[in-house]
Structure 1
């Protein structure tokens, strides 16, 4: 009896095992069996890592090509820009050369229409380089001024504008000469007109070809003056008056650098015309005693320098007040 029971249990166990095995096999065949969740997640992470590695490899392979393409395009664009700049520079140089040739032709015309001079007088008919040249030229021009009034005036004006246009020293001696030849109102107007016209022409030439040269040779002065111009942007006319009355910056540098740092041409021209008036008064007064002068420094005494300083401070005062009010408003 016990034997039969034992054999039945074994048979039932075998049947259960067979049933479980068949069930698992059927599940596998039907696709119902799935691996454990942890194993499935690890497989998915592995696939993601492989995809990331593949993308990185593709990017590394394509990056040199992209960099080469970008560098080639940038180099081509830079070469195109340099070619355009070269064309613009050539065009500007042609314009400057044309202006210079036209100026020389005008000077030759003035010499041609001038009255006939003897050999002793001709050697003094030149742009004065020192006070002795100015004295001798004044004697020659004074002899012909009454008979050839406009010819003499036109010749001095053309020479003055020529010097101012091409930033050539010597305009101070011509200012003294005009003070010697003409009455005070006429001399003052001629000096202011010639200074404004010549400086504006110099401004134009600098705007055409001088930007890079100025930034290259005078980077410190240009950057410092740019800051001052921005500071006095709302009262730029007064600042131009101040610069023309004081020797802080030479006039030739003001003429060349103004277009580079953004000074408008109308403000520049008007500020020059009015700003040179006080120093011109001193030069005209010196011209009345030209034959007694021994050097150009005799024109400027301590009294005249004090008057110029007062005028310069008065011209700069409105700008200082505006900046002070602005700072107070910002604080408030």
Structure 2
């Protein structure tokens, strides 16, 4: 027994039925009913051929799924691109990173070199002590780097006694001690500045202080560049990055900024010496700025040296008047740099 159904008539009947059912899904419902009818007819005829309309629906669904997947992938790619653009626009924050094996090896080698330089400096100090004039026992105990104003007074008495007969030996000894303290960032150079003001005339004392400060600071700069660069960047990457940006911003007026730092006690000298090579301050600007910048404070120290034996504390060297003069000099040193930056901004705006 076989059953045949005319597709066109079936479609017409179904379309008429759809009008009674109504709604927006009429075409879909009609297709479903047609498929159901043809499925039953195929089962009665012993055939198992899938309806053509069902295949078309499946193909349409597959195409729609593929389009949805493509749209989803495009949206994900757009989101990733936006995130990458935002990350590029935001300033990268340096993070602390572990030192590699090569960096550790280079750091150890640098530390060995610094230790060798320190030992060599100590040997030089011992040599200066050996060539010094013969002293009695009471004088030998005062031949040391002064740690307070009383030590400076006693050392000044001893050196003043031998200065005329052993002029260059005494000067060489004080210069070596001064450079040694500056090179290895050891406190005590203020007392040696006062001591030089006591021992020598004003022009000689001023030149010696500026020369020793510049030479010692330059050696400290070199040691920091040799060893401290890796260590400081390793332990303080964020601060180092911020300081470097400030240096780049005021690179045209770094000399004036160095003068200002040397004249004011905002930052200690040892910190300036150690940090300058790490943040990109050129050596020639650093050395010249140090030589000129320490001159105003040195004038005050030399004047204090003239009354050294009357002093009871190192704080007496800096009166309110002297601090006012230093402040005026420091502000004056910044003016050229500030004016230069102001003119640059005006040119950019124009």
TM-score, scaled to structure 1: 0.75
- Unpaired runs of 5+ in structure 1? 1-34, 53-77
Are the structure 2 counterparts of residues 257 and 44 from structure 1 closer, same or farther at C-alpha, using a change threshold of 3 Å?
A: same
| Residue of structure 2 in register with 1:153 after alignment | 171
1:298 to 285, 300, 316: 316
Q: How many residues align?
A: 271
| Residue of structure 2 in register with 1:164 after alignment | 182
Is residue 272 of structure 2 the alignment partner of residue 254 of structure 1?
Answer: yes
State whether residues 214 and 256 of structure 1, in contact with CA within 8 Å, keep that contact through their aligned partners in structure 2.
no
Name the one with the larger helix percent.
1
Mapped partners of 1:179, 1:108: distance in 2:
24
Are the structure 2 counterparts of residues 308 and 233 from structure 1 closer, same or farther at C-alpha, using a change threshold of 3 Å?
A: same
Q: Give matches, 1:1-332, under 5 Å.
A: 39=55, 82-215=100-233, 222=240, 225-332=243-350
Mapped partners of 2:290, 2:281: distance in 1:
12
The CA deviation at 1:328 is: 2.0
State whether residues 110 and 227 of structure 2, in contact with CA within 8 Å, keep that contact through their aligned partners in structure 1.
yes
Are the structure 2 counterparts of residues 88 and 241 from structure 1 closer, same or farther at C-alpha, using a change threshold of 3 Å?
A: same
The CA deviation at 1:44 is: 12
Mapped partners of 2:171, 2:296: distance in 1:
22
Are the structure 2 counterparts of residues 42 and 219 from structure 1 closer, same or farther at C-alpha, using a change threshold of 3 Å?
A: closer
| Residue of structure 2 in register with 1:17 after alignment | none
Deviations 1:156-187 (A, max 9, x none): 00000000000000000000000000111111
Mapped partners of 1:237, 1:265: distance in 2:
11
Moved more, 109-118 or 206-215: 206-215
SS at match of 2:186: coil
Mapped partners of 1:251, 1:220: distance in 2:
22
Mapped partners of 1:303, 1:311: distance in 2:
13
Are the structure 2 counterparts of residues 220 and 294 from structure 1 closer, same or farther at C-alpha, using a change threshold of 3 Å?
A: farther
SS at match of 1:278: helix
The CA deviation at 1:36 is: 6.8
Are the structure 2 counterparts of residues 150 and 284 from structure 1 closer, same or farther at C-alpha, using a change threshold of 3 Å?
A: same
Mapped partners of 1:160, 1:37: distance in 2:
100
Deviations 1:46-74 (A, max 9, x none): 8xx99x9xxxxxxxxxxxxxxxxxxxxxx
| Residue of structure 2 in register with 1:16 after alignment | none
Deviations 1:225-255 (A, max 9, x none): 4444233210111110111001111101000
The CA deviation at 1:211 is: 2.5
TM-score, scaled to structure 2: 0.71
Mapped partners of 2:217, 2:166: distance in 1:
28
Are the structure 2 counterparts of residues 217 and 171 from structure 1 closer, same or farther at C-alpha, using a change threshold of 3 Å?
A: farther
State whether residues 207 and 259 of structure 1, in contact with CA within 8 Å, keep that contact through their aligned partners in structure 2.
yes
Deviations 1:177-224 (A, max 9, x none): 000001111111100010000001111111111134445676786566
